[in-house]
Structure 1
Amino acid sequence: MTRFLNGVERIGNKLPDPFILFIALAALVVVASWVISLFDVTFVVPGDESEELAIKSLLSTEGIQYILSDTLNNFVGFAPLGIVLTMMLGIGLADKVGLIETGIKSTILKAPKSLVTYAIVLTGILGNIASDAAFVIIPPLAAMVFYNLGRHPLAGLAAGFAGVGAGFTSNLIVTGTDALLAGISTEAIRTVNENISVTPVDNWYFMMACTFILTFVGGFITEKIVEPRLGKYEGSAGEEVKEATSLEIRGLRNSIIACVIFVALLVIAILIPNSPLTGEDGSIVPSPFLTGIVPILLLLFVVAGVTYGVTVGKIKSSRDVGSFMGESMKDMSGFIVLVFAASQFIAYFSWTNMGAWIAISGAEFLQSIGMTGIIVILAFVLFTAILNLFVFSGSAQWALEAPIFVPMFYYLGYSPAFVQAAYRIADSSTNVITPMNPYMIIVLGFVRQYDKKAGLGTIIALMLPYTIFFLITFTIMLLIFYFAGIPFGPGVDVNV
């Protein structure tokens, strides 16, 4: 296993940076569209046999004009860009004023000792509300908690890292990840059907259920497999976990009260007759409330962040709010750069009709060999889990896969939100063992505080049980929802 993972690391390190990878893929689409167009390839979209489509070349006069005239539109009009940046304005504010860290410390330190392992895993899972920041905050805190309880600190670190990484896609509330992946899914499905969209709440029910199940599984693995293997810790490294101060607790309490008031007002606004937040018949699905969930969540996080910041003295004037939001946007610079390249690749893929052609051809092939049921979805889950060893970024990987698999499975009758859920469970599970995870080195630094001789193999050996059992658990949950017909989100079924 170690030799295999070392080979994966060597291969993965040879891959270019995601930005360069998408630029290369865009260039490949340009060349491929020209080559395929030479053979006059045409196809018919199922359900609309009246029009025959052809593969268009980006090296034609029309194609070159499209590249030059639509580059800015491809970037600015890329759905995930506005959604994620909007969400991060609120989440980033809450993170910068210290609300999220206080919530994490309060959750872990207040838990009974018998439940502290499960509290750490749950906190790690819920910590993805802070996106990648959770990778830096939760594992070292969890290690220090275990150390102060006389337990092996690496077991605590592993539990926290598993929750953050392998459980990254789950949560009890809608997060920036939901918004980001939904935006990419919408871009992908609209290449074949402009009337379908995926909202940030389309996987909500499924991810809430997975949160509770994974908390139990993660705690069980830590106490029955990981910690016994590590044995008793004999070192002396570590430091006291500082409990949240009375001021921080007051800030957390006030922010919770503010959020409860906000949600109560929102519920009242939804329940009033002829509410502007409900559909024409008073329904929630579909409704302006669901389509406007992103700005509503932004306001919720702003209310929580400002309340906490004012209480603890981090926000002294209105200028501080904008300043903290600006700091959070600095952290998004890498994402914005990546989006520029990814948006061009997806737009090129769509304009040439290559995406629709591959999807339809792939669906017809799968139908011809009889692979149209849940087996093809399980094969997709396994493929994604392996691919994540080489492409860590969940958004980057989904931007690669969505233009192919969302339309392909759509023609097999599957909802894009269901396909997105299948992608998410595979992508999360291997986050904690891939050398391509940029936070692996940071976590290794935390590990070496307690084991000076630790290396990458130490982390992989710690985390491999979580990857295996989380992937199995996620898949079982997917099958339960699939066969029981349980909605994955409000009004979201397996089939289109």
Structure 2
Amino acid sequence: MVEAAEGRVQKGILGWIERTGNRLPDPVFLFFWLIAVLVAVSVVGSLLGWSVLHPTEIDEATGQAQVIAATSLLSAENIQRLWVEMPATFTHFHPLGYVLVVMLGAGVAERAGLFGTAMRAGVRNAPKVLLTPIVCLVGMMGNLAADAAYVVLIPLAGIIFHAAGRHPVAGIAAAFAGVSGGFSANLLPGQLDALLFGITEAAVETVFGDFTANIAGNWYFIAAMTVIFLPVIWYVTDRMIEPRLGTWNPGMAGRDGLEEQSDRALTDGERKGLKRAGLAVLAVVALWLAFTFGPGTPLIDEGATPEARLTPFYQSLVAGFFLLFLLAGWAYGAAAGTIDDHRGLVKMMAGAMEDLAYYLVLAFAAAHFVAMFAWSNLGLILAVNGADFLGNSGLPAWALLAAIVAVSALLNIFVGSASAKWALLAPVLVPMLMLLGITPEMATAAYRVGDGATNIITPLMVYFPLILIFCQRWQKDFGLGSLAATMLPYSIGLLLAGLAMTIGWVMLDLPLGPGAGVFMDPPTTVQPTAPAVAE
């Protein structure tokens, strides 16, 4: 039996979701179980002779498309590869390098207090009439701060709503919807882009060889998500959730001294730190502009085709975000007094790596699943056959991508980790859609829309119990069902808005980011295996 926080048995769909999800293993062991299934399927596929014509490679002896057959993972060659190449399999996993580099800088900004202070400054003096949209916007921008947005902004939003004479739980709900429901929405690429596009890059390479991901490949798309999601969260909060909660009654609170933490003014050191951080951000932006347009243009490949000239710039963005977060955090900490000297800075960078301990374990499992999927050739076989099926179905591209949004949203109810889900889906979805003429960037964008929408209604989301505690500080009888029911209108609204946006984006063929579009020429082949999807 599953019990809500106040001791009642959780029944109905929410109880079923919680019971079912709790039976799933940890994502790390989920990958190990999937590896076991993958081994069994590879053996069956090898015995049955599963094969396809490779969409891009030609057999030099025959001049025909090369036949790719399923390979048993229990073959001597693959067993040797597993044990001999294990260190390289792990360390060459693309998301690993991206995330470690970005987090070295972001960890300093978070530990120095920059993210928390910036969020407090963003919402503290908000006009009452604009309180909800400002909380939502800061929440979506707060995704750059990863966990800090959950532990700083969401409880702070309840305090600020209370100070404005509004229901604190409405503030918590609005902030939770912005931070978690709008998880991919942002005005700037950040840590999540580095993580997801690293997995996308690995997925492309399992079938088509060398590929370099552009972590700004969804920049325009996620910025548009921010603009579209903002009025949705604003409307649901002010017109649906707050009226449903009723008039705030302070007698309902169980705040445990929460008001003492409250809406304190920024100190002189914090204000000075924010100014210094802003100057550091401007300095990094100016430096990158100089590298791009200045003498020698080191971030532009002058000898490449027009489409590829900015490739070095895109490849440099991971380092750019590392430097931006590092220098901004250092500048803030030095002014605010949270970083004493360079030893304190190094200690914060080391602490950021400690926070990634679980991610490193997950990455080890995911790296081997992705690599073994490639060794078995099952990814290519599924991609080509899936592309054949979908191409022959006559479904337009917008319908295929809308289906990906829906599947991602459903899967997210049971598997909360964005990286774990994408590591499972990307090796099949990305190559398959490429064969249908849809870019890896568009596949990633569609996944992101579905991934965020249902974060806020599943008890399996890691921060869901924490949000429940925040609510119970203000309303003692607020249970698990209360939180899920409060967040359900947000989830439905964000999912519908995201679906509409995805469909419209595809039909209008809008750019997803610098150098990234919706459609591409399918990888060339001697005998086309799948027609391009109709635009």
- Report 1:110-121 matches (<5 A): 110-121=125-136
1:336 aligns with 2:360: yes
TM-superposition CA deviations, 1:384-435 (whole Å, max 9, x none): 1101000100000000100111111111111011000000000011111112
Give the CA deviation at 1:315: 1.4
1:9 aligns with 2:18: yes
- Select the residue among 135, 144, 157 that pairs with 1:129: 144
CA distance in 1, matches of 2:295, 2:273: 35
- Report 1:35-50 matches (<5 A): 35-48=44-57, 49-50=64-65
CA distance in 1, matches of 2:309, 2:173: 40
Which residue identity does 1:46 align to in structure 2? Answer: P
- Select the residue among 263, 266, 271 that pairs with 1:244: 266
Identify the residue that residue 423 of structure 1 maps to in structure 2: 447
Aligned to 2:297, the other structure's residue is in SS state: coil
Which residue identity does 1:394 align to in structure 2? Answer: A
Which residue identity does 1:382 align to in structure 2? Answer: A
Give the CA deviation at 1:195: 4.1
CA distance in 2, matches of 1:378, 1:306: 42
1:143 aligns with 2:158: yes
Identify the residue that residue 372 of structure 2 maps to in structure 1: 348
Task: From the superposition, tell whether residues 47 and 63 of structure 1 become closer, same or farther in structure 2 (CA, over 3 Å).
Answer: closer
Give the CA deviation at 1:281: 5.4
1:18 aligns with 2:27: yes
CA distance in 1, matches of 2:485, 2:13: 13
C-alpha contact (below 8 Å) 1:88/1:329 kept by paired residues: yes
Give the CA deviation at 1:479: 2.1
Identify the residue that residue 338 of structure 2 maps to in structure 1: 314
Identify the residue that residue 260 of structure 1 maps to in structure 2: 282
1:453 aligns with 2:481: no
CA distance in 1, matches of 2:228, 2:490: 13
- Select the residue among 162, 168, 180 that pairs with 1:165: 180
Aligned to 2:333, the other structure's residue is in SS state: helix
CA distance in 2, matches of 1:427, 1:485: 22
Q: Percent identity?
A: 40
Give the CA deviation at 1:2: 6.4
Query: How many pairs are equivalent?
Result: 496
Unaligned runs of 5+ in 2: 1-9, 58-63, 521-535
Identify the residue that residue 168 of structure 2 maps to in structure 1: 153
Give the CA deviation at 1:285: 4.9
Aligned to 1:432, the other structure's residue is in SS state: helix
CA distance in 1, matches of 2:44, 2:343: 55
Give the TM-score normalised by structure 1.
0.97
- Select the residue among 368, 391, 394 that pairs with 1:370: 394
Unaligned runs of 5+ in 1: none
Give the CA deviation at 1:279: 1.9
CA distance in 2, matches of 1:431, 1:185: 21
Give the CA deviation at 1:13: 0.8
Aligned to 1:53, the other structure's residue is in SS state: strand
Q: Which 10-residue stretch deviates more, 452-461 or 155-164?
A: 452-461
Aligned to 1:46, the other structure's residue is in SS state: strand
Identify the residue that residue 490 of structure 1 maps to in structure 2: 514
C-alpha contact (below 8 Å) 1:285/1:491 kept by paired residues: no
C-alpha contact (below 8 Å) 2:401/2:502 kept by paired residues: no
- Report 1:265-284 matches (<5 A): 265-280=287-302
C-alpha contact (below 8 Å) 1:366/1:372 kept by paired residues: no
CA distance in 1, matches of 2:41, 2:292: 50
- Select the residue among 103, 106, 118 that pairs with 2:121: 106
Q: Which 10-residue stretch deviates more, 165-174 or 276-285?
A: 276-285
Which residue identity does 1:13 align to in structure 2? Answer: N
C-alpha contact (below 8 Å) 2:56/2:208 kept by paired residues: no
Aligned to 1:106, the other structure's residue is in SS state: helix
Identify the residue that residue 396 of structure 1 maps to in structure 2: 420
TM-superposition CA deviations, 1:335-392 (whole Å, max 9, x none): 0000000100010001110111111111112223323532121112111110100010
C-alpha contact (below 8 Å) 1:120/1:159 kept by paired residues: yes
Give the CA deviation at 1:197: 3.0
CA distance in 2, matches of 1:106, 1:254: 15
Task: From the superposition, tell whether residues 285 and 229 of structure 1 become closer, same or farther in structure 2 (CA, over 3 Å).
Answer: farther
CA distance in 2, matches of 1:372, 1:380: 13
Task: From the superposition, tell whether residues 286 and 267 of structure 1 become closer, same or farther in structure 2 (CA, over 3 Å).
Answer: closer
Which residue identity does 2:13 align to in structure 1? Answer: F
C-alpha contact (below 8 Å) 2:509/2:519 kept by paired residues: no
C-alpha contact (below 8 Å) 1:75/1:343 kept by paired residues: yes
1:292 aligns with 2:316: yes
CA distance in 2, matches of 1:323, 1:473: 43
C-alpha contact (below 8 Å) 2:206/2:371 kept by paired residues: no
Aligned to 1:45, the other structure's residue is in SS state: strand
1:478 aligns with 2:487: no
C-alpha contact (below 8 Å) 2:103/2:352 kept by paired residues: yes
CA distance in 2, matches of 1:70, 1:281: 36
TM-superposition CA deviations, 1:78-119 (whole Å, max 9, x none): 000011011001111000000000000000012211111101
Task: From the superposition, tell whether residues 341 and 327 of structure 1 become closer, same or farther in structure 2 (CA, over 3 Å).
Answer: same
Which residue identity does 2:221 align to in structure 1? Answer: F
Q: Which 10-residue stretch deviates more, 293-302 or 364-373?
A: 364-373
Which residue identity does 1:386 align to in structure 2? Answer: L
Identify the residue that residue 78 of structure 2 maps to in structure 1: 63
CA distance in 1, matches of 2:183, 2:91: 27
Q: Which 10-residue stretch deviates more, 75-84 or 358-367?
A: 358-367
Aligned to 1:280, the other structure's residue is in SS state: coil
Which residue identity does 1:157 align to in structure 2? Answer: I
Identify the residue that residue 227 of structure 1 maps to in structure 2: 242
Give the CA deviation at 1:70: 1.6
- Report 1:199-210 matches (<5 A): 199-210=214-225
CA distance in 2, matches of 1:423, 1:199: 16
Q: Which 10-residue stretch deviates more, 85-94 or 268-277?
A: 268-277
CA distance in 2, matches of 1:309, 1:50: 59
Aligned to 1:90, the other structure's residue is in SS state: helix
Identify the residue that residue 197 of structure 2 maps to in structure 1: 182
CA distance in 1, matches of 2:182, 2:202: 25
Identify the residue that residue 29 of structure 1 maps to in structure 2: 38
